[in-house]
Structure 1
Amino acid sequence: MTDDQIRVAPRSKGAHRTITEALGAAPAGAVISIAPGEYRESFRLIRRVTLLPQHGTGSVTVAVPAAAGAVAVAAPNCRIRGLVIRGHDPGEALLRVEDAAGLTLEDCIVTHGRVEVLGSRGTTPRPDRPVGDIPLDHDLSAELADPTAGGVLVTRRTKLRAARHTALHVTGDALARLDDTAIEGVEGIGVAVSGTAVLRAHQLRVHGGSGSSLRARDTSRVLLRASGLFGPGRNGLLVQDAAEALLTDCRVENAARSGVRLDHTARAEIGESTIAGARLSGVEVRDQARVALRGVWVAGGETGVRLRSTEESVLLHCSVTGQQGNGVELGAGSDPRLRGVRVTRSGKHGVLVGEGGRGTFDHCDVIASGFPALHIGRDGAPRFRGCRVFDSANDVALSEGASPEFENCQAINVGSPRLSSASYGARAAGGAGGAGKGAASRGSKRGERDGGPPRGPGAPAGPAGQAGPVGGGGASAARGGPAAAATNASPPEPEQGEAPVAESLSDLLAELDELVGLENVKRDVGGMVKLMQTVRMRQEAGLPAPPLSRHLVFAGNPGTGKTTVARLYGRLLHALGLLSHGHLIEVDRSALVGEYIGHTGPKTTEAFQRARGGVLFIDEAYALTPPGVTQDFGLEAIATLVKLMEDHRDEVVVIAAGYPGDMERFISSNPGLASRFTRSLLFADYSTEELVEIVEHHARRHRYELTAAARKALSTHIGAIPRGDRFGNGRTARQLFQRMTESQAMRVAELTSPQASDLMALDENDLPVPS
């Protein structure tokens, strides 16, 4: 024991009996070593000291008695390590960092009371410095040592438990940093931030709670990275007043209300994060608030993204999937900007533009909507550029006075399209409820002004009076279907009643061979093609065909190219004359299983009928047979499928896809499946070298070039990515490419006169910084 270390041990000679007694004798900078046991006391740190257990983390409990007041920190650079601090009343303050004081909590448990970090309460306007310019990696060491403003708290490997109202309140001009910290079992809000306080967090986890996981108010700012907000009783993240939030690589799951909600004039930037399972909305923006989403995956809930603000929000390269209601919903007067957004499997509309709503949608896909994919409310005037609608009964519905603009948009495998089909020519689309001649005239003039083909007499019009086949690109313009993997693309599916485009078998086989990796899959598919060629020749020679099952099981992790190969398989069968169209219909449990008795059979039949002449691709097919559940509507869907596969054995090919370990359970759930799915193809994860090649494929396709240094750094970066459940294989490669182009754009924008080579080059500095 050093000279400045002080011992607390009630039964040891020469040691202090209580922590309070030891603190009274301790000089600044002292280390107080505490013997194991429970100490029923409260104290105040008025000098820089360190408290730690003598015999390891958790061996010392400070039990604060009723009416004793909180453990208080009133000095800079104090440290508490390895202690359990337990309160008497969960609704009272248990640990308080006072104004101009600093505390580091390491390996501690704080339970049955809240932690407060206090600062001055002066009201100030929104800070000039935006939240995105605040350094997230700053460890606050200087502020802990000399807190010139409010209190400063840093936690590491610490748990806050069983508080009421809130577990942590950071207020005034206080600062807090939470590293590898968990908050559990709160009857109220997990973390509340107010005033001008700034909260930084890395690997923060807030579990449960009856209120929101994290609430920011006033002009406070919150920065989260690699953190999770799980199962709150209200919202995951609630940002109000003029507060700001920045989330990077975070997860917000199973909120009882909205995953992220912004009110008043709040701002939020969310990147590369997942928002899933919210009961109401994944993201909800109201009043004059504004959100920027980049690479965010929003899954489930009643609504995916609901924008009711008049301020311009931005969604870039996001995925919105599996909502019971609408995927993206715009309120009256909203005018957001969406680019590269993919909306799939919405129970109602993929995009709903409310009365008077606007918005710009660039190169967005809407797939498999229960209602018309795009619904434009009264007087709505959104702009759609290069957008596509797939696998829906209807693509566009217009209310009275709606005047949307459509440029280079396509409807693919849509039962009653208003947009034109890229493969099979335009369809006439009368304006609904007053899309009217004004919109048609504007569309024609715009097409002529922008160099597009003028609309001649008798030329069919799109929903806003657009000329001809929207996009006019024919089959080639439609390549790159909604589920295309990183290295390949597909033509659109045929419309009902239309003749499909003929494709060369040799070209399709060459396209198969060009796929990155998947060597075993390519060999198996090539072998099946040869077998089917022989079958076809026997049929043409009048000989009986041998028994042949064309149905397949695709077993592999996400992003390994299963959907891409399934599309190509359908086109190959069409080229062989074994399928009349060769298109692909992608479904999952939600598209096959009903919500009440008598609903599943018709729902499964409807999906199967849409696949007639092509391929029915069942993603995550094992979800139809939940483990441990003996009575489930999924079994009815399987029984319906088995009968339909028998009744239409020559008209539809069924491909069941999912994780390798789960597909065996699916096949064994019904005897009819085992007899029909006799062949399984295993889609292995991509190697590091193959993922680099996929990124390079994207670069070539978009006229970028990777420098040699970038290629080497990319290989190192990919090799360091954990290959866990969240690893996306080809999707990870695509996301990496997108982030590199965004970083390059920021870099090139600072150049005075960039050359073409500057605009094309991706170097090692454009790679994202490993988290």
Structure 2
Amino acid sequence: MISVSQVVPGGFRTVRQAVHAAPEGATISVAPGRYRENLVLTRDVTIVAEDGPGTVLISSDTGVVVEVAAAVALSGIELEGTDAEQAPVVVGAGRLVMVECAVRGDSWAAAFAHGTGGLVLRDSLLSNPSGAGVVVTSQAGSSVHNSTFEDLGTSAVVVAERGLLDVRGSTVRKSGGNGFYLSGHAEFTAVDSGIADCGDKPAVAVEDHATAVLRRISVRDAAGLGFFLKTTGLVDLTECAVESSAAEAFLAEGTGRLSLRDCDVRRSARYGMRFAGTSTAVLQDCRVSDVEGTGVAVEQRSTVEFHGLEVRACRDDGVQLTSKEEAVLHGLAIRDCAHNGIVVRGANARFEALEVERAQRAAVEVVADGHALLRGCVVRAVGGPGIAVSGGTLTAEDGDLHGCGGDGVVLADGASGVLTRCRIRAGGGHGVHIAAAAKARMSDCELHGNDGDGIRVATDRDVVVRDCSLRENGGSGLRQQVVSTSIAVENVSSSGNGVADAFGTAQAVPAAAVPAEPAAPRSGRAAENSPAEELQALVGLENVKREVATLVNLNRMAKLRVEAGLSAPPMSRHLVFAGAPGTGKTTVARLYGAILAGLGVLESGHLVEVARADLVAQIVGGTAIKTTEAFREAIGGVLFIDEAYTLSAQSGGTGPDFGREAIDTLVKLMEDHRDEAVVIVAGYSREMADFLATNPGLESRFSRTIEFPNYSAAELVTIVRQQCSRHDYRLDERAAELLLRYFDEMPKDATFGNGRTARKTFELIVDHQASRLAASPAVATSDLTQLLPEDMPFAQPIPSHSTAAAEVADVDR
């Protein structure tokens, strides 16, 4: 061991003297102090701080502080260089390993590895207000592990030319440029690292021909782009996240190949993800939410394939497709976007298992010669049409469109559509509207309960309607508005519509009929009950209805008092719903939120339903994050926590109680956002009483408990009748009597599911009817709708613990 000390006699006074005297492989121990010198290390040595990190500073105002051309290790040493032209650390050959060190520079870089030199940083800190942190152009292979870059004038990490660098467990804070910048033919790997508060440059930039493998990289509070990918090489991102960026979270503009798996975007401006140029991207299980602009855009000639993408709460469209190349999207879910769910503009897109909910305009818009193929499309509660095609083509198979504000499907301006096995229900306009110059082929489709016509034809082009069911629409089942012989109708069932059908002949078409514009989005369907009316229409629950009505009146009066300049009465909107499963707690919670939104008490009234698994993590600190995320999602609406008592259940172990952490976090959030959200906790009555006692803040915030009793036998029969009506069945009165006896004698034990049991019983009856009819040599249409006593598997006898009851209980379990 060679010692260096400025105060102890008998040893070396400078590090440089010790290095010159040291044999190959020697260890030099440096006593505390500041050593103003420049070191050129050409032999293998190890230099350590005698008293540990932070006690030894080697500095210089001119030149390189430490220049390495051998195998060198530094431990606990601080290096400081103030030369504006030279990096404090330069490795041109050999290998420098720095452990628990700090480097402060005032130059273009704090550390530079070039030529054949390799740099290894572990548990170290780099800062450089005038330039970059680490610059690597060497192919020798460098690494940065568990280190921090902060207060940088430009980029934290630069890998250029043919440099190789591996970064793990490291953090970048307050960089004036990029967090990671890759160019040339660089090869870069980064794992479990974060970039926060970087400048207006992209947090991660991959350019030229560079390749990158990024695992669990997080970007927060970026003043520019999150990830900028403009390379011809391969970029592989897994579990990467961008939260709060002033521009796109992910922007790909190059010709390279991109793979994104399990990546997250939250609160970005412009776009969540944008693919342009001729890039090729494969996305799997990614999420984009709370974007100020469009969630995902695919432009120019980029090619994408999505598997499991969720887009939520964007201020513009959820997804925009304008690329000339085919886009393939599997398992795409879009919710709560302020414009359209999807826009296909001049593009060719194929969708499998698409879901669009609560877009304020159309669920899918196809324009400018675009083409969309949809297989398994589900649309719910959009403000405009379900699918709007103008000048493009549509092929839709196995679609289910429910509650659209406008037409279910509208084809206009020469559009062409083929619809197969599609259900279009409860829309505010026509089920399908085939406007002027459009053409369509429909087969095996169901159009039920729409405010307008089931199918409106306002074109003289070819229209084929085959094997379709048109029922209970507000207008006609099928209405032809222009005289034409180009319509073919085969095997169409039309019944219960508000107006007689009119098609096929000149006499059938009203003389004054003119092609109508597509139905405008509705603000409220006349045929649809208000949330308050829906609540009153629920089976049973009379006490629940009274309690909710009282709460609604209290909220209404409180709002009027505030508007009149009076103080609001003391009240809590948060509720406990106590009762067995299947008693309608979730349904009432949804309606309660909608009623409060109608009063202006809540912004949107939407329902976010969670359980213990959605709130509780198994790592320290994770539960607070998950609970906060769920609560924030519910702001403006209702957070419904099912089986909330499980949060206070003791695991019996000695580790941390994560459920109680969720409760504590929830109590604080309810206080911080007392007027922005309603929290409803639900579960069995006794367990919920115990739950409220676990935290002093719970009882004060949940001051009202509403009990949900079990349904009576008569009410369960009513629920079965509702299921029959909804699915085109008719319950024979003799069968209804058997069903009443069955429900009356059914054990109301822990397996009893109330309304769920009624629905499962209905399914069981339908199964038995199908088996009975399958054995019959001839089946009339009326036979298909009737449920008879012999379809009741519990008809003879009716013991208190019948086999059928066991069947239903098994299903409930």
TM-score (ref. length: structure 1): 0.58
Check whether the contact 1:217–1:240 (CA below 8 A) recurs between aligned residues: yes
Check whether the contact 1:348–1:369 (CA below 8 A) recurs between aligned residues: yes
Of the three residues 367, 372, 389, the one matched with 2:379 is: 389
Equivalent in the alignment of 1:349 = 340
Distance 2:222 2:357 in 1: 30
Task: Return the letter of the residue paired with 2:111.
Answer: L
- 1:35 paired to 2:40: no
1:77 Cα shift? 3.5
- 1:277 paired to 2:267: yes
Distance 2:233 2:143 in 1: 21
Check whether the contact 1:111–1:162 (CA below 8 A) recurs between aligned residues: yes
Superposition pairs for residues 120-199 of structure 1, below 5 Å?
150-199=139-188
1:97 Cα shift? 1.0
Task: Return the letter of the residue paired with 1:415.
Answer: G
Superposition pairs for residues 440-459 of structure 1, below 5 Å?
440-441=440-441, 455-456=466-467
Gaps of 5+ in 2: 57-77, 410-421, 447-463, 471-476, 480-486, 493-523, 530-534, 553-572, 611-631, 643-661, 689-813
In structure 2, relative to structure 1, the CA distance for the partners of 1:568 and 1:66 (3 Å cut) is same
Check whether the contact 1:365–1:387 (CA below 8 A) recurs between aligned residues: yes
Equivalent in the alignment of 2:98 = 80
Work out which structure has the larger RCO, using CA pairs closer than 8 Å and 6 or more positions apart in sequence. Answer: 1
- 1:228 paired to 2:218: yes
Of the three residues 67, 76, 81, the one matched with 1:64 is: 81
Of the three residues 109, 124, 130, the one matched with 1:93 is: 109
Superposition pairs for residues 578-617 of structure 1, below 5 Å?
617=607
Superposition pairs for residues 719-738 of structure 1, below 5 Å?
none
- 1:431 paired to 2:442: no
Task: Return the letter of the residue paired with 1:107.
Answer: D
Task: Return the letter of the residue paired with 1:35.
Answer: A
- 1:308 paired to 2:299: yes
Identity of aligned residues (%): 19
What is the aligned length? 516
1:365 Cα shift? 0.7
Q: SS of the residue aligned with 2:255? A: coil
Distance 2:583 2:491 in 1: 23
In structure 2, relative to structure 1, the CA distance for the partners of 1:42 and 1:232 (3 Å cut) is farther
In structure 2, relative to structure 1, the CA distance for the partners of 1:535 and 1:111 (3 Å cut) is closer
Superposition pairs for residues 254-653 of structure 1, below 5 Å?
254-301=244-291, 302-354=293-345, 356-396=346-386, 398=388, 400-419=390-409, 421=423, 428-431=431-434, 436-437=438-439, 440-441=440-441, 455-456=466-467, 496=525, 533=540, 535=542, 569=585, 617=607
1:324 Cα shift? 0.8
Q: SS of the residue aligned with 1:100? A: coil
Distance 1:351 1:414 in 2: 15
1:161 Cα shift? 1.7
Equivalent in the alignment of 1:13 = 9
Distance 2:590 2:674 in 1: 28
In structure 2, relative to structure 1, the CA distance for the partners of 1:313 and 1:18 (3 Å cut) is farther
In structure 2, relative to structure 1, the CA distance for the partners of 1:372 and 1:86 (3 Å cut) is same
Q: SS of the residue aligned with 2:370? A: coil
Task: Return the letter of the residue paired with 2:50.
Answer: Q
Deviations 1:392-450 (A, max 9, x none): 1224353531212211111122222415646669953113575x11xx14x65999xxx
Distance 1:267 1:153 in 2: 25
Distance 1:671 1:234 in 2: 34
Task: Return the letter of the residue paired with 2:118.
Answer: G
1:260 Cα shift? 1.0
Check whether the contact 2:366–2:390 (CA below 8 A) recurs between aligned residues: no
1:55 Cα shift? 2.1
Check whether the contact 1:555–1:660 (CA below 8 A) recurs between aligned residues: no
Gaps of 5+ in 1: 120-148, 448-452, 471-494, 501-527, 540-544, 557-561, 574-581, 593-599, 609-615, 621-633, 642-653, 685-771
Check whether the contact 1:212–1:238 (CA below 8 A) recurs between aligned residues: yes
Task: Return the letter of the residue paired with 1:59.
Answer: T
Task: Return the letter of the residue paired with 1:83.
Answer: C
Check whether the contact 1:53–1:81 (CA below 8 A) recurs between aligned residues: no
Whose Rg is larger?
Answer: 2
Check whether the contact 2:378–2:399 (CA below 8 A) recurs between aligned residues: yes
Task: Return the letter of the residue paired with 2:30.
Answer: I
In structure 2, relative to structure 1, the CA distance for the partners of 1:583 and 1:104 (3 Å cut) is closer
In structure 2, relative to structure 1, the CA distance for the partners of 1:672 and 1:400 (3 Å cut) is closer
Q: SS of the residue aligned with 1:74? A: strand
1:341 Cα shift? 1.5
Distance 1:227 1:673 in 2: 32
Distance 1:49 1:401 in 2: 74
Equivalent in the alignment of 2:243 = 253
Distance 2:155 2:275 in 1: 24
1:257 Cα shift? 0.7
Distance 2:326 2:385 in 1: 21
- 1:54 paired to 2:50: yes
1:19 Cα shift? 4.0
1:109 Cα shift? 0.9
In structure 2, relative to structure 1, the CA distance for the partners of 1:205 and 1:424 (3 Å cut) is closer
Distance 1:159 1:671 in 2: 39
Check whether the contact 2:243–2:267 (CA below 8 A) recurs between aligned residues: yes
Q: SS of the residue aligned with 2:405? A: strand
In structure 2, relative to structure 1, the CA distance for the partners of 1:43 and 1:421 (3 Å cut) is farther
Q: SS of the residue aligned with 2:404? A: strand
Check whether the contact 2:423–2:445 (CA below 8 A) recurs between aligned residues: no
Deviations 1:527-582 (A, max 9, x none): x99x985748x99xxxxx899879995899xxxxx9xx8996466x7xxxxxxxx9
Q: SS of the residue aligned with 2:374? A: strand
Distance 2:679 2:272 in 1: 37
Deviations 1:3-35 (A, max 9, x none): xxx444333335444444444444544444333
Task: Return the letter of the residue paired with 1:9.
Answer: S
Q: Considering only aligned residues, what root-mean-square deviation do their CA atoms show, in Å?
A: 4.7
Deviations 1:164-183 (A, max 9, x none): 22121111222111111111
1:251 Cα shift? 1.7
Distance 2:192 2:271 in 1: 24
Distance 1:669 1:11 in 2: 58
Distance 2:29 2:465 in 1: 85
Structure with the largest fraction of strand: 2
Deviations 1:357-379 (A, max 9, x none): 12111101111112212121211
In structure 2, relative to structure 1, the CA distance for the partners of 1:321 and 1:424 (3 Å cut) is closer
In structure 2, relative to structure 1, the CA distance for the partners of 1:220 and 1:303 (3 Å cut) is same
Distance 1:466 1:655 in 2: 50
Distance 2:32 2:491 in 1: 79
Task: Return the letter of the residue paired with 1:428.
Answer: G
